[in-house]
Amino acid sequence: MINHDRLLTKFGVSMKFGDKYIPLEKFNKMREESLKNPEKFWGEQAKCLDWDKTWDKVLEWNPPYARWFVNGKLNASYNCVDRHIKGSRRNKAAIIWENENGDCRTLTYYELYREVNKFANVLQNLGVDKGDRVAIYLPMIPEAVIAMLACARIGAIHTVVFSGFSSDALAERINDAGAEVLITADILYRRGKKINLKNIVDKSLLDCPSINYVVYVHRDKDNDIKLKEGRDYLWDELMKGAKKYVKPVSVESNHPLFILYTSGTTGKPKGVVHSTGGYLVYVTKTMEWTWGINDMDVFWCTADIGWITGHSYVVYAPLSLGTTTVIYEGAIDYPNPGRIWEIIENHGVTILYTAPTAIRMLMKYGEEWVKSHDLSTLRMLGSVGEPINPKAWEWYYEVVGQKRCPIADCYWQTETGGHIIYPPLGIQNIPLKPGSATFPGIGIDADVVDENGNSLPPNKKGLLVIKNPWPGMLLGLWKNDVRYRKAYWERIKNCYCPSDYAIKDEDGYFWILGRADEVLNVAGHRIGTAELEHVLVSHPLVAEAAVIGKPDEIKGEVPVAFVIPRKEIDDKKEAKEQIIKYVRDTLGPVAAPTMIFFVNKLPKTRSGKIMRRVLKKLILGEDLGDLSTIEDNTSIEEIKNELSDFV
C-alpha cells in the first residue's frame, strides 16, 4: 500500500476551497445524473455547440466502439470561429501570440475567421477533400491553428506532428496516415537559435510517397527557400489568390477530426483518432467544468500543439468557448527565467495551465523571478502530464497563485480527448489535496481494480479503469483495430484501461501513481521503451538494448539505456555520444537517453524477456526482489560493477 498521508499538507482537506469535506452537492448531482442517464445528460450538454442537424441517437455503444451523437451534423471550424463573429466576440482576441523576442501578434475572431477561410480554399485548390489527411509540422505560430481549423472546415483530417520530432518520426507518421499535403515552415526559433525545419522535411520527403504538395510558411525572410517545382509552395503566395469564404463542410458527428500519434508499448506509434462531435462537446465542457471560463479570461496553456494538450486546450476548447488563447513560441525560461511571468503580466493571463516538469524547473530559479512580476490577473491554475509532487504543488499554489488560485490537477491522455480525473472548479470550489487529481469527472465511471478487474478497497494500489464510454473517447486507432482492442480493452474485461496505476483514498480522491506499462513519462511526454530500444538496435554499434526510466528531479523521469555492443568498443565516451546523437536525430531530443551503459549481458527471464524491473532496481540501488525467474545471475554482477560509479 502506498502511504500517501505524507502527501497531505496544510492544504489538505481543510483548505479554503471547501470548508469541509463533501460540500459537493452540485457536482455530485451532475455526476450522478451523467452516469445514470448518459444519453439524456450528454444530449443536453451537446447544446454547447451549434449543430447543422440534430443527432438521431446520443450514443451507440458497441463495445469497445462508442459513437456519439449519431447522424448529428456539424463543423468544428464553424463552432470555433464563425459562430463567435456573429455576436459580441467578433473583435475579441482569439489568439495572442508572442515569441522569445517579445514580438506579438493578435488575431481577433474575425481575423482568424478570414485566415481560416482563405487557407481552407488553399487546401481545396491543392485538391484536398473531405476525409483526406493533411500533415502539419509547424512551430507554435498562429498558422498552425489556422491550418488545423482550415482542415476541419473542409472535413479533412489533420495529423499534427510535434515540430521537435526528427525526419524519421515525421516520415513514419505521414506514411501511416497517408497524408497528401504537408504544411510546414522553413525554420523555428528556440532558445535564440534558428532550427532549420526545411532540412528535416527534405530528408523525410525522400521517403513519403503519399505527399503531393508541401506548403511552407516562410519565416526567415533573409534567406530564400529552395522549392521543388510542382510540389512546394509558399503559404503567403497561395493565400494571395485564395477565396475569402469557404462554406464549412457539414460532417457527421463521428467523422474523424484528427489523428494524433502517441507512444505505446510496441516500436510503432499509435494513431489515435478523435471524432468531431463527441470530441468537441467533451473538450468544450471539460474546460468549462474545470475552470468556469468567462469572457474576461485570457487562457494560457503552455503545451505545444503537437501534443493532445495543445489540440484540446490551446486550440479546440478555448476557441469553441470563444476564449482568448495565448500561444508562445519558444522556451518559457528564455531569454531569462522570468519569461513565463512576463508573458502572464503582459497579456493579463487569468488561467495558466502547465506541467509539473515546468513548475519544478521554474521553482529552481527561485521566487524572485516570480515576485518581480504582477501576476494579480491570475485566478486559477492547472497542471497536467504527470503526477505533481506536493513540493511543486505548494510552490505553484503559494508563490505563483499567491494562495488565491486553486490548482486543477488534470489527469487524462491523448486517447481520452479531454480531462477525465480533475477537480470541477468551474462548478464549485472543492477541497484539494496536493498530488491528487481529485475525482473522476462528470460522465466518467472510474475505479481502481486488481489485475482480475476486482474493485479494490481504499488505499490499495491497482489499475485505473473507466467502465463506461464518454464523448471524448477515441474512435479507435488509425487503420489498426486489432491494436486498439489489445492496447485498451484486453487487460481488464469490459473496461477501458489507460495503463496507469492509481489508488483511491478513503475520501474518494484518486491518486495517479504512474504508468503500468513499458512507457516512460519524460517531462510529461510519453516515450515507449520499445520504440526507443528499436531505434537503439538500429545503430551499427548496438546489438541489444534495454531502456528504463530513472527518476529525475525536474523531468520526472529520464531514459537510461543498457546496451550490448556489437563489438569491442575502444572509446566508450565517444560511442555513447554517438548513440545519443543518433537517438536525438531519429526520435527527437525528448527521447535521448541521458546515460548509456555498455554491458555484455542483460538480465532476462528463462523465456527470454528482458527484466527491466531488475534494471530499474539496480540503478536505484534498491533490493532486487524475487529473482527466481532469471536465466543468468552473472548479468546482475556485471551491471552492478558498471553502475558502481553512479548509484
Nearest approach in angstroms of CB 158 to ligand PRX is 17
Is residue 438 a contact residue for ligand PRX (CB under 6 A)? no
Specify the residue, 526 or 576, whose C-beta has the smaller distance to ligand PRX: 526
Q: Which stretch binds ligand PRX (CB under 6 A): 74-82, 186-194, 294-302, 379-387?
A: 379-387
In order of 90, 131, 294, the CA distances from 86 in angstroms are 7, 28, 18
Q: Which residue from 351, 437, 596, 615 is in contact with ligand PRX, where contact means CB under 6 A? A: 437
Is residue 262 a contact residue for ligand PRX (CB under 6 A)? yes
Residue with cell 569491442: 568
- State the virtual CA torsion across 219, 222, 224, 225 in degrees, nearest 10: -30
Q: How far apart are CA 144 and CA 304, in angstroms?
A: 10
Specify the residue, 253 or 383, whose C-beta has the smaller distance to ligand PRX: 383
Is residue 183 left, alpha or beta, with left meaning phi > 0 and alpha meaning psi from -120 to 50?
beta
Is residue 18 a contact residue for ligand PRX (CB under 6 A)? no
Contacts for 530 with CB less than 8 Å, ≥ 6 apart? 264, 265, 266, 267, 518
Q: Which residue from 361, 375, 392, 512 is in contact with ligand PRX, where contact means CB under 6 A? A: 512
Is residue 385 a contact residue for ligand PRX (CB under 6 A)? yes
Is residue 279 a contact residue for ligand PRX (CB under 6 A)? no
Total residues contacting ligand PRX by CB under 6 A comes to: 20
Is residue 309 a contact residue for ligand PRX (CB under 6 A)? yes
Is residue 529 a contact residue for ligand PRX (CB under 6 A)? no
Is residue 387 a contact residue for ligand PRX (CB under 6 A)? yes
Instruction: Point out the residue whose Cβ comes nearest to ligand PRX.
Output: 414
Neighbours of 494 (CB within 10 A): 11
Residue with cell 452540485: 26
Q: Which residue from 338, 498, 528, 603 is in contact with ligand PRX, where contact means CB under 6 A? A: 498
Is residue 311 a contact residue for ligand PRX (CB under 6 A)? no
x/- letters, 440..479, toward ligand PRX (CB under 6 A):
----------------------------------------
Specify the residue, 287 or 410, whose C-beta has the smaller distance to ligand PRX: 410
Q: Which residue from 176, 500, 518, 531 is in contact with ligand PRX, where contact means CB under 6 A? A: 500
Specify the residue, 278 or 356, whose C-beta has the smaller distance to ligand PRX: 356
Q: Which stretch binds ligand PRX (CB under 6 A): 241-249, 385-393, 540-548, 619-627?
A: 385-393
Query: Of how many residues is the chain composed?
Result: 647
Is residue 411 a contact residue for ligand PRX (CB under 6 A)? yes
Q: Which stretch binds ligand PRX (CB under 6 A): 341-349, 404-412, 467-475, 547-555?
A: 404-412
Would strands 595-598 and 193-196 be described as parallel, antiparallel, or unpaired? unpaired
Specify the residue, 417 or 603, whose C-beta has the smaller distance to ligand PRX: 417
Beta strands in 467-555 (DSSP E): 476-477, 500-504, 510-515, 519-522, 525-528, 542-552
- Sign of the C-alpha dihedral computed for residues 88, 283, 271 and 154 taken in this order: negative
Is residue 410 a contact residue for ligand PRX (CB under 6 A)? yes
CA-based R_g, the chain, Å: 24
- State the virtual CA torsion across 158, 164, 166, 168 in degrees, nearest 10: -30
Nearest approach in angstroms of CB 70 to ligand PRX is 27
Maximum separation of any 2 CA atoms in the chain, in Å: 73
Say whether 364 sits in a helix, a strand or coil: helix
Specify the residue, 329 or 386, whose C-beta has the smaller distance to ligand PRX: 386
Q: How far apart are CA 267 and CA 210, in angstroms?
A: 22
Say whether 380 sits in a helix, a strand or coil: strand
Nearest approach in angstroms of CB 468 to ligand PRX is 18
- Nearest CA to 472 among 312, 262, 325, 315? 312
Query: Could you give the residue ranges of the DSSP H alpha helices within 496-611?
Result: 529-537, 572-587
- Sign of the C-alpha dihedral computed for residues 39, 439, 517 and 526 taken in this order: positive
Is residue 427 a contact residue for ligand PRX (CB under 6 A)? no
Nearest approach in angstroms of CB 414 to ligand PRX is 3
Say whether 182 sits in a helix, a strand or coil: strand
Would strands 65-70 and 256-262 be described as parallel, antiparallel, or unpaired? unpaired
Q: Which stretch binds ligand PRX (CB under 6 A): 10-18, 24-32, 178-186, 382-390?
A: 382-390
Specify the residue, 131 or 551, whose C-beta has the smaller distance to ligand PRX: 551
- Nearest CA to 75 among 135, 150, 177, 159? 150
Is residue 265 a contact residue for ligand PRX (CB under 6 A)? no
Specify the residue, 280 or 522, whose C-beta has the smaller distance to ligand PRX: 522
Q: Which residue from 254, 521, 586, 635 is in contact with ligand PRX, where contact means CB under 6 A? A: 521
DSSP assignment of 458-514, as one string?
TT--EEEEE-S--TTS--EETT-HHHHHHHHHSSSTTSB---EEEEE-TTS-EEEEE
Say whether 373 sits in a helix, a strand or coil: coil
Q: Which residue from 358, 384, 487, 579 is in contact with ligand PRX, where contact means CB under 6 A? A: 384
- Tell me, rounded to whole angstroms, the distance of Cα 641 from its chain centroid: 38
Q: Which residue from 308, 503, 535, 547 is in contact with ligand PRX, where contact means CB under 6 A? A: 308
Is residue 515 a contact residue for ligand PRX (CB under 6 A)? yes
Task: Kindly list the residues in this chain that would bind ligand PRX in the complex (CB under 6 A).
Answer: 262, 308-309, 384-387, 409-414, 437, 498, 500, 512, 515, 521, 526
